Amino acid sequence: MLKKRIVVLSGAGISAESGIKTFRDSGGLWEEYDIMEVATPEAWERNRDLVLEFYNQRRKQLYEVEPNDAHYALVELEKAFDVHIITQNVDDLHERAGSSQVMHLHGELKKVRSSVDESLIYDLDGWELKAGDKCEKGSQLRPHIVWFGEPVEMIPAAAELSGTADIYVIIGTSLNVYPAAGLVSYVLPGTPIYLIDPGEINVGYIPGVRFIKERAGTGTRQLVKELMGEV
């Protein structure tokens, strides 16, 4: 029998219980750092060392953390459903937990790419990208991250995928950043939509959403149990 398709849109909140800071919560990364100074093409032109250091620290931390219950619950869901994850996260915790279909909207911390030819993408050995590390065309390597002001190349594929969902699940995102926050508008009318987040999320624009106001670990376990019980 053909499995029903579940599409998951995840954000920083799903990795919070692994010890990775979110961006906009109190104590989040964008309180500590100025977005414009570390996550824009202009910052890369103006202060390359600071940008490299910011992502080196994020990457270094990634080697010190583990996937959590929420990531593992989504892997379990694959036993009964065709699960596709669209993540805004640049960590690799979904993959390390064992999820088999993961699309990264905003890039991946463990990859770097050429600053003159964006099709030249490499896995970085270790956590540190240094000034002077070059691609095969001789240009400086940059983090493989979609910065503010850059196009999100994966959006058309993510929108199409969202339109094929039988069930849509949103976990741990403030839904503040477009175009990712707009993906839910591609979900077909009548599709069950769940949102798991402990915060105050404006869900007014998501018709019929069931808001599970829990942390990712608890909320995802609860929902997975419920969905698995139905098949």
Residues at the interface with ligand APR (CB under 6 A): 11-13, 16-17, 22-25, 28, 88, 106, 172-174, 176-177, 197-199, 201, 215-216
- Shortest CB 228 distance to ligand APR, Å: 20
Nearer to ligand APR, 203 or 228 (CB): 203
User: Which residue out of 71, 94, 104, 106 is catalytically annotated?
Assistant: 106
Q: Which H helix or E strand runs over 90?
A: none
- Shortest CB 221 distance to ligand APR, Å: 12
Nearer to ligand APR, 199 or 208 (CB): 199
Convert 137-189 into a string of H (helix), E (strand) and C (coil): CCCEEEEEECCCCCCCCCHHHHHHHHCCCCEEEEECCCCCCCCHHHHHHHCCC
94 is catalytic: no
- Shortest CB 174 distance to ligand APR, Å: 3
Nearest of 101, 85, 65 to residue 172 by alpha carbon = 85
Sequence-separated (6 or more) residues with CB below 8 Å from residue 71 = 14, 18, 93, 94, 96, 97, 99
Query: Dmax of the chain from CA atoms?
Result: 56
Strand order in the sheet with 102-104: 102-104, 82-87, 5-10, 167-171, 193-196, 210-212
Contact 14, 172 (CB under 8 A): yes
Nearer to ligand APR, 4 or 21 (CB): 21
- Shortest CB 119 distance to ligand APR, Å: 22
Nearer to ligand APR, 135 or 143 (CB): 143
* Residues identified as active-site: 106
